[in-house]
């Protein structure tokens, strides 16, 4: 809720929800999915001369002068010595802009396109185009909202790559958020209970929505450029004990369930056993109904996602400068 009491409802931002059918135990459930770009960071050289039109004149300013001139005007708020928050009419933070301290002449803008209205998006794209030379992505978060998959079913999914795993549990002992990979890595995956997050923020969630989880791939530096391949690669490691091959030995079923229940168990098994069980779980991900629904819905949405990413750079190639 904004300071003015206006509810910003993320549910209404979800578009083109894709209906799927998922086997859950003995029953079949109808679930929904929607892919989106959840966060973008653009870095580029700051233009030295920016033409700023006032009522009576045209000023030639550099980036910092432009920001300082507009501080306190209702939509730009200074943060520290070299950063600014861009606010909407409800005083919701929609973007963060900063001059990079350790890269002379460069700046970055960080924002969630889902929180920007269609009208404001056009202005934002012009803003980026007017400020930056040679802009490129340094981060892109690709997310999928997963609706009505039972909590106790989806919380058994894991990324089975040899990366760090950090689960966060609520007071009830149930999983609320899971992180795979470190914050400093080029790829970090987060899965979290979006419905719970929205309710805690006093946002509106329709009563007919039983569960709402979000799977989010945070891609940085080179991985942001290669986002399409990274999503496919990550889904190839998104596995559960639900759809193991029929030929799986009973002991391997027990072991995989134990590893999913407690990630620390990976550290006490042999290297050969780790390799074998990871291979088994990656095979499972190829048969896994939920993972396959994620793959199919991503394939259906990928052209729209690419188009959206491209338009933020106003037709410039979605590539990263090598530094």
**Position 137 confidence tier, pLDDT thresholds 50, 70, 90:** confident
More confident residue, 20 or 89: 20
pLDDT per residue over 29-83, tens digit each? Answer: 999 999 999 899 999 999 888 888 888 888 888 888 888 988 877 788 889 889 9
pLDDT the model gives residue 314: 62
**CA neighbours within 13 Å on the CB side: how many for 95?**
23
| H helical segments located in the chain | 63-70, 118-131, 151-154, 194-200, 222-225, 227-235, 250-261, 271-287, 289-312
pLDDT per residue over 275-299, tens digit each? Answer: 999 999 999 999 999 999 999 999 9
**Which tokens in the block code for residue 121?**
């998006």
Nearest residue to 259 via CA among 235, 234, 276, 236 = 276
**Counting beta carbons within 10 angstroms of the beta carbon of residue 104, is it exposed (0 to 12), middle (13 to 18) or buried (19 or more)?**
exposed
Q: Is the pLDDT of residue 146 over 70?
A: yes
The alpha carbons of the chain give a radius of gyration, in whole angstroms, of: 22
More confident residue, 127 or 270: 270
Q: What is the phi-psi region of residue 54: left when phi exceeds 0, alpha when psi lies from -120 to 50, beta otherwise?
A: beta
User: Which percentage of the chain shows pLDDT scores above 70?
Assistant: 91
**Which tokens in the block code for residue 229?**
């391949």
pLDDT the model gives residue 9: 56
Q: Can you give the length of the chain in residues?
A: 323
* Residues 224-257 as b or e (16 or more Cβ within 10 Å = b): bbbbbebbeebbbbbbbbbbbeeeeeeebeebbe
Residues 192/178, Cβ–Cβ less than 8 Å? yes
Q: How far apart are CA 12 and CA 257, in angstroms?
A: 37
**Residue appearing with tokens 């803008």:** 109
pLDDT the model gives residue 290: 97
Q: How far apart are CA 103 and CA 240, in angstroms?
A: 43
More confident residue, 1 or 13: 13
pLDDT per residue over 150-190, tens digit each? Answer: 999 999 999 999 899 999 999 999 999 999 999 889 999 99
pLDDT per residue over 229-275, tens digit each? Answer: 999 999 999 999 999 988 999 999 999 999 988 888 898 999 999 99
Q: Is the pLDDT of residue 103 over 50?
A: yes
DSSP 8-class letter at 238: E
Nearest residue to 149 via CA among 191, 210, 196 = 210
Q: How far apart are CA 108 and CA 100, in angstroms?
A: 7
Q: How far apart are CA 153 and CA 147, in angstroms?
A: 12
Q: How far apart are CA 34 and CA 267, in angstroms?
A: 35
pLDDT the model gives residue 218: 95
**Position 119 confidence tier, pLDDT thresholds 50, 70, 90:** low
Q: How far apart are CA 255 and CA 200, in angstroms?
A: 36
**Residue appearing with tokens 């929180």:** 115
**Residue appearing with tokens 């168990």:** 265
Residues 188/104, Cβ–Cβ less than 8 Å? no
**Which tokens in the block code for residue 30?**
């109808």
The residue ranges of every structural domain in the chain are 10-243+288-312
């Amino acid at each position: 809720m904004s300071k003015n009491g206006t509810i910003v409802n993320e549910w209404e931002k979800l578009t083109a929800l894709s209906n799927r059918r998922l086997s859950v135990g003995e029953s079949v459930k109808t679930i929904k999915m929607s892919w989106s770009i959840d966060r973008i960071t653009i870095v580029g050289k700051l233009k030295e001369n920016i033409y700023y039109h006032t009522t009576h004149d045209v000023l030639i300013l550099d980036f910092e002068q432009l920001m300082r001139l507009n501080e306190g005007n209702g939509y730009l708020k200074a943060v520290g010595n070299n950063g600014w928050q861009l606010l909407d009419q409800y005083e919701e933070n929609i973007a963060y802009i900063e001059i990079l301290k350790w890269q002379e002449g460069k700046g970055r803008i960080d924002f969630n396109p889902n929180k920007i209205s269609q009208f404001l998006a056009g202005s934002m794209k012009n803003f980026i185009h007017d400020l930056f030379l040679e802009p490129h992505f340094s981060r892109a978060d690709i997310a999928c909202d997963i609706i009505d998959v039972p909590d106790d079913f989806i919380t058994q999914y894991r990324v089975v790559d040899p990366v760090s795993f950090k689960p966060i549990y609520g007071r009830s002992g149930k999983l609320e958020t899971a992180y795979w990979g470190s914050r400093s890595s080029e790829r970090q995956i987060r899965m979290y209970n979006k419905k719970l997050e929205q309710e805690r923020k006093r946002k509106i969630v329709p009563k007919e929505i039983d569960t709402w989880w979000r799977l989010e791939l945070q891609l940085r530096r080179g991985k942001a450029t290669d986002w399409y391949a990274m999503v496919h690669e990550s889904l190839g490691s998104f596995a559960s004990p639900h759809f193991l091959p029929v030929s799986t030995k009973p002991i391997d079923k027990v072991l995989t369930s134990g590893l999913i229940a407690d990630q620390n168990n990976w550290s006490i098994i042999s290297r050969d056993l780790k390799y074998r069980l990871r291979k088994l779980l990656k095979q499972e991900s190829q048969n896994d109904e939920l993972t396959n629904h994620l793959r199919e819905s991503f394939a259906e949405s990928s052209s729209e996602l690419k188009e959206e990413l491209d338009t933020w750079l106003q037709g410039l190639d979605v590539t990263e400068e090598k530094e």
